[in-house]
Amino acid sequence: MIRKIDHINISVTDIEKTKEFFTGLLGFEDEKDGYLEGPWMDATVGLKDVKARFARLSIPGTETSIELIKYFQPEGGKDPEMHHANRIGFRHIALEVTDIDTVYQKLKDAGVRVFSEIQNYTEKKRLCYFYGPDDIILELAEYKD
């Protein structure tokens, strides 16, 4: 039986820039960093001669984490349409926040591209979407009691 999502893995072009985005702007903590290669890695991901670096980032006080990975070999390509919300496959990560207005303004002040102003989804939920590095789609969600 599944107990929880262990982590979400995101392939990126610039691991340092992406780490800074998640730690500096969103408050994630840098938990672990390292390199991945060898026969076990090739077998795990189904690629040959893999050389990659990963960084595991976590939300303080929770078990929630993401894992960023940069493939040096074989280098991956970017889907030029991936930044559209209607593309098939993984779409976005939703982050629950306690003060959406403050986080939204912090992102805008930092030059982050947002989809729109904050929207009222229901009487108890407000949300907005924005782009992270490599056009990763992220959502801010605030729930009222």
Question: Is residue 84 one of the residues assigned to a domain?
Answer: no
Q: Which pLDDT value is given to residue 14?
A: 95
H-helix or E-strand spanning residue 58: strand 51-58
Assess whether 62 and 104 both reside in one domain: no
- Residue 111's CATH number: 3.10.180.10
Question: Is residue 121 one of the residues assigned to a domain?
Answer: yes
* Range of the structural domain that residue 97 is part of: 93-143
H-helix or E-strand spanning residue 11: strand 8-11
Are 51 and 35 in contact by the 8 Å Cβ rule? The answer is: yes
Are 74 and 47 in contact by the 8 Å Cβ rule? The answer is: yes
pTM of the shown model: 0.87
Assess whether 16 and 60 both reside in one domain: yes
Assess whether 66 and 102 both reside in one domain: no
Residue 123's SS3 state is: coil
Assess whether 19 and 66 both reside in one domain: yes
Residues comprising the chain, all counted: 145
Q: Which pLDDT value is given to residue 117?
A: 92
Question: Is residue 79 one of the residues assigned to a domain?
Answer: no
Question: Is residue 81 one of the residues assigned to a domain?
Answer: no
**Helix-strand-coil percent breakdown of the chain, rounded to 5?**
20, 35, 40
Q: How many domains does the chain have?
A: 2
**In this predicted model, what pLDDT tens digit does every residue of 30-67 receive, in sequence order?**
999 999 999 999 998 999 999 999 999 999 999 999 99
Question: Is residue 59 one of the residues assigned to a domain?
Answer: yes
Assess whether 52 and 101 both reside in one domain: no
Residue 144's SS3 state is: coil
Which among 140, 141, 120, 142 is positioned nearest to 130, based on CA atoms? 140
**In this predicted model, what pLDDT tens digit does every residue of 87-120 receive, in sequence order?**
877 789 999 999 999 999 999 999 999 988 999 9
CA 85 to the chain's CA centroid: 15
Query: Which residue is it, tokens 């940069």?
Result: 70
Assess whether 20 and 60 both reside in one domain: yes
Assess whether 14 and 64 both reside in one domain: yes
Q: Which pLDDT value is given to residue 1?
A: 77
- More reliable by pLDDT, 78 or 121: 121
- More reliable by pLDDT, 53 or 77: 53
Question: Is residue 80 one of the residues assigned to a domain?
Answer: no
Which segments of 13-89 does DSSP mark as H helices, in order?
15-20, 39-45
Assess whether 97 and 53 both reside in one domain: no
